[in-house]
Amino acid sequence: MKFQRFTTVFMAVVLLSAGFNAWAGPGAGPAEVAGLAALKPVPAVLSCETLTSVDVSKEVGAPTRLTSARLEGDMCAVTGNIDPSIGFQMRLPMRKWSQRYLQLGCGGLCGLMRLDIEHANGCVPAENGELVTATTNMGHEGASMGDGSFGRTPQLRIDFAYRAVHLTSVAAKAIIRRFYGQPQTYAYFSGCSDGGREALMEAQRFPDDFDGIAAGAPAMNFQLQNSFYHAWQARSNMDAKGKAIITADTLPILHEAALAECDALDGLKDSQIDDPRRCNFDPAVVQCKEGPADASRCLSAAQVEAARKIYAGPTDDKGRHFLVGTVQVGSELNWKGVFVPERGDGPIPSAEMAMSAVRNLVFETNPPSTMQVTDFKFDEATFNKLVPLHGLYDATNPDIAAFVQHGGKLMLWHGWADPHISPLNTIAYYDAVKKQLGSAADNAVRLFLFPGMGHCFGGQGPNQFDLLTPLMQWVESHHAPEMIVAGRPRVEPLMMGPAPAAAPGPGGSPEDRSTMPKGTMPPTMGGASGLKPALPVNRTRPIFAYPQVARYAGKGDVDQAANFVAATPSDSDPSIPTWLAASFYQPGFQKQCAVSADGLVCK
C-alpha cells in the first residue's frame, strides 16, 4: 500500500511536544496554558446554600427547582429538577471559576447522573477544578442504564431525545449568571456513546448552546443501533437453544488470527490494526480441522460462521445491508460482555440491549413486552417501522451550518475496536457533513480514530488522552487540532460509563448505583475536580486528524509517539456496500414533538 507523507520527522516531534505539554500537571493557571484565553478567575457572589432559593423557571421556560446546594470542599454541589422529571446536577467553583462551562453527556439509555470528566487528563482548568460542570439524567430515573421502560411515557421520549440536554444547558447558564454575577465566556459539551448522540443533537438542533463539542463514539443512528445492530449481533451468536456459540475463552484465538492477518498492513507489526477497513480477514483460518477439535487452539465450524455474521452485520434475505458497517476486525477481545457472554454460555447482553429499546422506545406503538430477540425480523418492513421516530431520536443530520456560523467547533472521535457502535457510522457522518457544508467544514470539524480502542475507553490500543485542551484551544485561539497524543495504559482502565449491572451497555460500569436514594448525587470518581486520575502508560502514539494516519518514521522506539509522522493513505476512503439507512444521513428529517391525548405529535 502506498502512502504520501506530507510532513517531516522534525515537524512531528515539534507537534508532539506541544501535545505532551497538554499532559502537564495542575500547577499552571488557565492564562499560562498555550492556546487558552487568559481569563481572570471569578469568585461566587452568592453563598452556596442560598442557591436553593434561586428560581430560573422563566429562563428555562418550564418549572425548575433547585432541590439541594451544599459545599464540597471548594465546590458548590447542586441538584435540581425541570418539569416533569428532568434531573440535573452541577458543580460550581466557589473562588476560582475560569469562566468556562462544561456539560457532560451520559451513556446507555441514561437514567442516572455522574459528573466525572473523562478524556481530559492534562487539561489544566479541569485538573485545577476551575470549570462549572453539569449533567442530566435525560428526564428519567432507571434501575439501570439499559432500562428503556421510560419510553412508555411519551413526554419522557421527548426529554430523552433532545429536550433534557438543551434545558439543562439553559438552566445551568442561568444559575451561573446568578451565582457569579456574569455569564460564562465559553461553553463546552463532551460525551461518548449516547453522550456522543447528545453532543451531535446539540450541534444540530440547538446550535447556540455550545462553542465547542466533543462527540465520542456517537450513538447517532439510535433507531438502528438499538434494534437491528444489537439484535443481529446477539442472534448471530445464538444456537437453536439460545445459548452462545462463541464464548469468551475463544476470543483470543480469533483475535490473534486477525492480528496475524492484518497487523502488518500499515508497515509495522505492533499488535494493533490501524485501519481495519483494509483488512480482508476470514475466520476460517482458525477453524478446527477434521477430527477431534482442540477448543484451546481453534474454532468450530459453527463458531466460524457466527464470527462471519458478526463481522458482516445485519442484512435481509436478499443480502442488503441495513447499516453502513458493523464491528471491525481487531475488536474481538472487546466482544466479551456485549454479544459474547462474560462467562461460559451465560446470557448475551446485546439481546437485552436490543429488546429494552425495541419493546419500549424505537417504534411508534410498542410491541408486546414478551417479545424476544428471536422474534425480531431483519427485513425492510421492520426497517420502515423505525422511520417515523428517526426524526425524534437520531442525530445524523449533517447540516450543522448554524453551529459553524456562530463559531462552533465539532470534534468527532471513535475507537476502531468499538464493539458497541461501528466507527464507520462516525466516518459516514463526517463525510456527510463535509459534503453538506463544503469548505465551511474545514475549520470547524475534525475526526480522530483511535486504533485498538474499545467503546469510549479501554481496548488494546492507545486509549488515554486529553480531548478537552485541544477543543478549548480550537475555540479560544482558533488553533485547529491536527493531532492528539494517546497513551496505552499498562493496566486496563475501569469502564466508568454507567450501565446495567447484569448486562453492561455502551460505556459499561463496574458500579451499580441503582440503590442510591432518589435525588442523591453519586460520588465523583475524580474527587472535587471530577477528573479521573491518569494511569501509567507503556505506549504513546499520535492520532492524526482523519484521513491522515500515523506511520513509523523508521527509527527509534515504536512505543514513543515522537517516532511517528503523518501520512495520507492513497485509498483514504475505501468503498462500502450500499446500505438502506444511507438516507438517514441527509438533512431535513428532524422533528419537534409534543404530547397530545393520542400520544406523540411530531412536525
Mean pLDDT of the 81-93 span: 98
Q: How confident is the model at residue 503 (pLDDT cuts 50, 70, 90)?
A: very low
* Percent residues over pLDDT 90 in the chain: 81
Beta bridge mates, 410: 213, 445
The per-residue pLDDT for 18 is: 41
Q: Residue 27: is its pLDDT beyond 60? A: no
Average pLDDT over residues 324-343: 96
Average pLDDT over residues 474-496: 85
pLDDT value of position 293? 57
User: CA 132, CA 187: separation in Å to the nearest integer?
Assistant: 10
* pLDDT confidence of residue 528: 57
pLDDT at 359: 97
What pLDDT is stored for residue 426 in this prediction?
Answer: 98
> What does the pLDDT look like over 349-397, one tens digit per residue?
999 999 999 999 999 999 999 999 999 999 999 999 999 999 999 999 9
pLDDT in tens, 459-476: 999 999 999 999 999 999
Is the four-CA dihedral 482, 548, 544, 431 of positive or negative sign?
A: positive
Q: Over 60: is that where the pLDDT of 525 sits?
A: no
Q: Quick: pLDDT tens for 570-593.
A: 775 676 788 999 999 999 999 999
Above 80 in pLDDT, residue 499?
A: no
Q: How many CA atoms lie within 13 A of 300 on its CB side?
A: 12
Residue 203: C-alpha distances to residues 28, 91, 343 (Å): 31, 24, 40
pLDDT for 529 equals: 65
pLDDT band at 164 (very low <50, low <70, confident <90, very high): very high
Cβ-contact 334, 418 below 8 angstroms: yes
Quick: pLDDT tens for 52-86: 999 999 999 999 999 999 999 999 999 999 999 99
List the beta strands (DSSP E) in 435-535.
445-450, 483-489
Strand 212-216 to 131-136 pairing: unpaired
Check residue 527 and give its pLDDT. Answer: 56
Predicted confidence at residue 360, as pLDDT, reads 96
What does the CA dihedral 568, 574, 580, 585 come to, rounded to 10 degrees? Answer: 10
DSSP sequence for 68-79: EEEEETTEEEEE
> How far is it, in rounded angstroms, from Cα 400 to Cα 165?
17
Calculate the average pLDDT of the chain. Answer: 89
Answer left, alpha or beta for residue 129, where phi above 0 means left and psi between -120 and 50 means alpha. Answer: left
Instruction: Choose among 480, 415, 469, 418: nearest CA to 446.
Output: 480
Express as a percent the part of the chain with pLDDT over 70.
Answer: 86
| Alpha carbon distance 45, 403 (integer Å) | 32
Reported as a pLDDT band with limits 50, 70 and 90, residue 407 is very high
Sheet containing strand 564-569, edge to edge, reads: 3-5, 564-569, 549-552
SS3 percent helix, strand, coil of the chain, rounded to 5, is 35, 20, 45
Residue-wise DSSP of 174-240: HHHHHHHSS--SEEEEEEETHHHHHHHHHHHH-TTS-SEEEEES---SHHHIIIIIHHHHHHHTB-T
Overall average pLDDT of the 199-227 stretch: 98
For residue 113, pLDDT beyond 80: yes
3 has a pLDDT exceeding 60: no
At 454, list the grid cell: 474499545
Distance (Å, rounded) from C-alpha 567 to C-alpha 486? 17
Question: What amino acid is encoded at 354 in this protein?
Answer: A
Residue 569 confidence (pLDDT):
87
